[in-house]
Chains A and B, each alone.
Chain A
Amino acid sequence: MTDLSLHRGISAHRIGAMILRYWYLLLSSWPRLLELLYWPALQVITWGFIQYYIAQNASFFARAGGTLIGAVILWDILFRGQLGFSISFLEEMWARNLGNLMMSPLRPIEFLLSLTVMSLIRLAIGIIPMTLLALIFFHFNVYSLGLPLIAFFCNLIFTSWSVGIFVSGLVLRNGLGAESIVWTLMFAIMPLACIYYPVSVLPVWLQYVAWALPPTYVFEGMRALLIENSFRTDLMLEALAINACLLAASFWAFLALLRSAKMHGSLLSSGE
């Protein structure tokens, strides 16, 4: 992974090898597999009952059926998409295997692409059962959102990858001492992404910050769809444009951090 250039071709063979590596890893530990299911299931059940209770006691929430539980599912796509990406990366740090990969013909872009695929696989394992629980227990069918769900999903997963790429670069540069950022950075976005409330709730100056984050557009779009039955294409396109910038910026940051790690010799001591 010493070649930082982009002009050479990407090898599907090498990406496939890395996906196989993470697949073997996933199957080698049933507690880790169970953990992928555990937290999303716990989230949806807790928030499902909260929504159920509120809907019985507030007419607005009775009308706006599913906004809370829908928000929980979409938030989990965002959060677990990033974790799925970052944990696969951290596995290499924990296993002290990064040196082997760095010295192999694997290129940074191929490494990152394999992490995005693993993020989707890990997400599917956690989120699909979660949506089925929401359907069975709370009669909320997220798939009934139809095509807009694809737009929501794509925008959220792109944001999660941007954050995942950036924090992976930070860990690469600073070692496992920076690991806590992997687990916490997304929570810094949480209050500003307006998951459970509209952007209008925020002070005006903070609204500008909120609108700089693609997830804000998704959660506003979800509320518009569930409450007003209107799909806001404009919001999705704006989110997509910001996501394109974020992905490019995070990839550039990853390469810069990798280069900095090589300048400072951090790759030789990737511990704490």
Chain B
Amino acid sequence: MTGNDNASSRPTVADGISSAAIEVDRLVKVYKQTRAVDGISFSLPRGSITGLLGGNGAGKTTTIAMIMGLVLPTSGRVRVLGHQMPDESAEVLGRMNFESPYVDMPMRLTVRQNLTIFGKLYAVKGLADRIAKLADELDLNDFIDRANGKLSAGQKTRVALAKALINQPELLLLDEPTASLDPDTADWVRAHLERYRKDNNASILLASHNMLEVERLCDRVIIMKRGRIEDDDTPDAIMARYNRTTLEEVFLDVARGRANGAEEAAR
């Protein structure tokens, strides 16, 4: 199945589906001669967790950046929580949030100061209570008054997650949320994300290279390669289609341009 096949069979923005958390319609991004994203379309229902998979340069980060409004598309459209991006971003930015290893929290401010500032930017009501709740849930109390720059990688990730959840977002965009974490902390973060989605009916779009993470968390997987959607389905369906038992094997098949496992077996 190719990205174009998928795109044509899925609803587009023109269909006017308003219940979607994210609607991407024939999105293209060209940097000089490079087509970083090449006409992709997908629609994510509210309350879902979707994994965006692909090798380096597949277009995942550019796609997420266009959804956030940090990069303007060359053509195509993005709607987030029913609003056109970036024109109507003011309507949705307060209802979404993100976490990425490519951005940091200010190092010299304490965790509490950082969360206070972002809470104020997002106009969070009862901010002190919200910070206290997040500190309990994400186990920040031991270092909440310590400068962010003096925290370990695992602690920083939990703080970044607290910032991403400060406004109780309806939509959470996560780029490598467990990168450089030890397995225990990574598992702990994943458990928290699952709980958050369940408790708040939140939608999560997750870009990751960690296939086990995607298998565990996501009810849908979009595989990208060279800016196009290579496959789009539930993890089980994709693994079955490629005749593989793990997403990692599927990923390698796609990345190396191999025929899928089923076809190999048939030959």
Q: Name the residue among A28, A100, A263, A265 with the largest chain B CB count within 10 angstroms.
A: A100
In the docked arrangement, what's the CA distance between A28 and B123, Å? 24
B208 interface hit (Cβ, 8 Å):
no
Given A8-B90, A267-B70, A268-B70, A95 contacting B121 (CB threshold 8 A)? no
Q: For A237, what are the chain B residues with a Cβ–Cβ distance below 8 Å?
A: none
Q: What sequence of 0s and 1s flags, for each residue 45-88 of chain B, a beta carbon within 8 Å of any chain A beta carbon?
A: 00000000000000001100100111110000000000001100
Residues of A within 8 A of B90 (CB): 3, 5, 8, 105, 107
Interface residues of B in 73-124 (CB under 8 A from A): 85-86, 89-90, 93-94, 96-98, 100, 102-109, 113, 116-118, 120-123
Chain B hits for A97, CB < 8 A: 103-106
Q: Which of A2, A20, A29, A265 has the largest count of B CB atoms less than 10 A from its CB?
A: A2
Tell me whether B117 and A21 are in contact (CB under 8 A).
yes
B71 partner residues in chain A, CB cutoff 8 A: 262-263, 265, 267-268
Chain B interface residue bracket vs A? 35 or more
Which residues of A lie under 8 Å from residue B104 when comparing CB positions? 95-97
Q: Smallest distance from the beta carbon of A8 to chain B beta carbons, Å? A: 6
Closest Cβ of chain A to B38, distance in Å, is 15
Measured in the bound complex, the distance between the Cα atoms of B90 and A106 in whole Å is 9
Contact B147 A28 (CB under 8 A): yes
Q: Which of B105, B108, B120 contacts A17 (CB 8 A)?
A: B120
Contact between A103 and B93 (Cβ–Cβ < 8 Å)? yes
Is there an interface contact between B103 and A2, defined as CB atoms closer than 8 Å?
no
Instruction: Render B176-205 as a binary contact track against A, CB cut-off 8 A, 1 for contact.
Output: 000000000000000000000000000000
Interface positions of A from 216 to 272, Cβ below 8 Å from B: 259, 262-265, 267-268
- Say whether B65 contacts A100, CB under 8 Å: no
Contact of B31 among A8, A11, A262, A264 (CB under 8 A): A264
On whether the beta carbons of B117 and A99 are closer than 8 Å, the reply is no
- Confirm or deny: B228 has a beta carbon within 8 angstroms of a beta carbon on chain A: no
Once the chains bind, are A99 and B100 in contact (CB under 8 Å)? yes
Of all chain B residues, which has the CB nearest A260? B72
A25 near B70 with CB under 8 A, answer no
A141 within 8 A of B: no
Take A2-B85, A2-B86, A96-B104 as given contacts and tell me if A103 and B120 are in contact as well, using a CB distance cutoff of 8 Å.
no
Could you say which residues of chain A place their CB within 8 Å of the CB of B89? Answer: 2-3
What residues of A have a CB within 8 angstroms of the CB of B65 in the complex?
A: 265, 267-268
Q: Which of B36, B86, B108 has the largest number of chain A CB atoms within 10 A? A: B108
A24-B107 Cα distance, complex, nearest whole Å = 11
B163 at the A/B interface (Cβ < 8 Å)?
Answer: yes
Query: A14-48 vs B: 1/0 string, CB under 8 Å?
Result: 10111011001100110000000000000000000
User: Which residue of chain A has its CB nearest to the CB of B116?
Assistant: A20
CB distance A2 to B69 under 8 Å? yes
CA distance A100 to B118 in the complex (A): 9
- Chain A: interface size category: 35 or more
Per the 8 Å Cβ criterion, residues 95-139 of A in contact with B are 95-107
- For the complex, give the distance between the alpha carbons of A3 and B80 in Å: 14
Of residues 200 to 224 in B, which have CB atoms within 8 Å of A's CB atoms? none
**Are A17 and B98 in contact, with the CB atoms below 8 A?**
no
A20 to B122, CA, bound (A): 14
For residue A11, which residues in chain B have a CB less than 8 angstroms away from its CB?
123
Q: In the bound complex, do residue A29 and residue B117 qualify as a contact, i.e. CB atoms below 8 Å apart?
A: no
Chain B residues with CB under 8 Å of A14's CB are 120-121, 123
Residues on A with beta carbons closer than 8 Å to the beta carbon of B116: 20
Cβ contact within 8 Å between B121 and A106: yes
Chain A residues near B (Cβ < 8 Å): 2-5, 8, 11, 13-14, 16-18, 20-21, 24-25, 28-29, 91, 95-107, 259, 262-265, 267-268
**What are 30 sample pairs from A and B whose C-beta atoms fall under 8 A apart?**
A2-B68, A2-B89, A4-B86, A11-B123, A14-B120, A17-B120, A20-B120, A21-B106, A21-B117, A25-B108, A25-B109, A28-B109, A97-B105, A98-B103, A99-B100, A99-B103, A100-B103, A102-B68, A103-B68, A103-B96, A103-B97, A104-B118, A104-B121, A262-B86, A265-B36, A265-B62, A265-B71, A267-B65, A267-B71, A268-B61
Those 4 A-B pairs whose CB atoms lie nearest each other, nearest first? A2-B69, A17-B120, A99-B103, A2-B89
